[in-house]
Every structure is written in structure tokens, then in C-alpha cells.
């Protein structure tokens, strides 16, 4: 077994945890929470969900570049030998990271403050903004997975 296989496995698992978690939150948890929970309970639920999920996202955020760079050097001998889709993947990782950091550093503290103050309308507005950023990140992640799965030759 080469060093590439365990790097690829960790890389894939990290991507699946991050993108799969966003898919679950967007497509399953959010609609279910809207149906059965009132605003205060829903906002408290999301704070708890983010607290738990973001631990895993941070792990993915750290594992992805380490394993990606390892595969880049083990599989292609560096940037020059890598196909274009690998360069695109790296750029889109940076975009996804920036969107995640926006939520983590700016929007999540704002949501926490609104919930602590029991300002449910403000909390709902912040959660709506977080939802849009997560939707963007999910779209990028799904497109990225599709691109890499196709392994285009351009």
C-alpha cells in the first residue's frame, strides 16, 4: 500500500463529513425543525447543532489541506504535475473555508447573543443568513464532489 491510499481515504472522509453534514442540516433537519418547533426551541436547537457539528467541520478543515497536499506530492509530484481539476478543488476549498469562517466568527456569535437575549426575531434573521451561507457552501461542495468524481482531463 502506498502513502496515497490512506491520504485519499482520510481526505474523502473529511469531505463527506463536511458536505454530508451540510446536506443533512439543509435538506432534513431544517425542514423538520420548522415543522415541529417554535422559534425559541428551533434557535436553541441550531445553536446546539452548530456547536457539535463545527467540531467535525474544524477537523475536516484541518485534514483536507494536509491530506490534499500529501496526495498532490505523492500522486503528481507537486502543483505542476496536477490536473486542472485539482487546482480548482484547492481554490474552491478556500472559498468554502472562507464561508465557514464567516459563519463561525461572525454569524454564530450574533446568533448566540440573540438567543441569550431572547430576541427571537433577531435570532431568526441571523439564522436565515446562516442558512443562505450554508446553502452556498453546500452547493459549492456538491459541485466540487461532482467535478472530482468526473476527473476531467482539462
Residue 1 has pLDDT above 80, yes or no: no
User: So what's the pLDDT on residue 95?
Assistant: 98
User: So what's the pLDDT on residue 2?
Assistant: 87
Measured CA to CA in angstroms, residue 8 lies from 53, 68, 77, 91, 149 at distances of: 22, 8, 15, 18, 13
pLDDT tens string 107-135? 999 999 999 999 999 999 999 999 999 99
pLDDT tens string 85-106? 999 999 999 999 999 999 999 9
What's the mean pLDDT in 30-54? 98
Q: Find the radius of gyration of the CA atoms of the chain.
A: 18
Give which of 8, 1, 2, 4 is closest to 89, Cα–Cα: 8
- C-beta atoms surrounding 133 within 10 Å: 15
Amino acid at each position: 500500500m502506498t502513502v496515497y491510499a490512506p491520504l485519499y481515504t482520510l481526505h474523502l472522509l473529511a469531505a463527506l463529513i463536511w458536505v454530508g453534514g451540510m446536506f443533512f442540516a439543509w435538506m432534513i433537519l431544517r425542514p423538520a425543525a420548522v415543522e415541529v418547533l417554535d422559534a425559541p426551541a428551533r434557535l436553541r436547537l441550531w445553536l446546539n447543532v452548530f456547536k457539535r457539528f463545527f467540531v467535525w467541520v474544524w477537523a475536516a478543515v484541518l485534514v483536507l489541506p494536509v491530506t490534499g497536499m500529501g496526495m498532490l506530492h505523492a500522486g503528481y509530484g507537486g502543483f505542476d504535475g496536477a490536473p486542472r481539476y485539482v487546482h480548482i478543488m484547492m481554490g474552491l476549498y478556500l472559498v468554502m473555508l472562507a464561508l465557514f469562517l464567516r459563519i463561525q466568527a461572525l454569524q454564530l456569535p450574533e446568533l448566540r447573543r440573540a438567543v441569550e437575549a431572547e430576541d427571537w426575531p433577531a435570532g431568526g434573521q441571523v439564522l436565515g443568513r446562516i442558512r443562505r451561507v450554508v446553502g452556498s457552501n453546500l452547493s459549492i461542495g456538491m459541485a466540487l464532489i461532482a467535478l472530482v468524481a468526473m476527473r476531467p482531463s482539462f
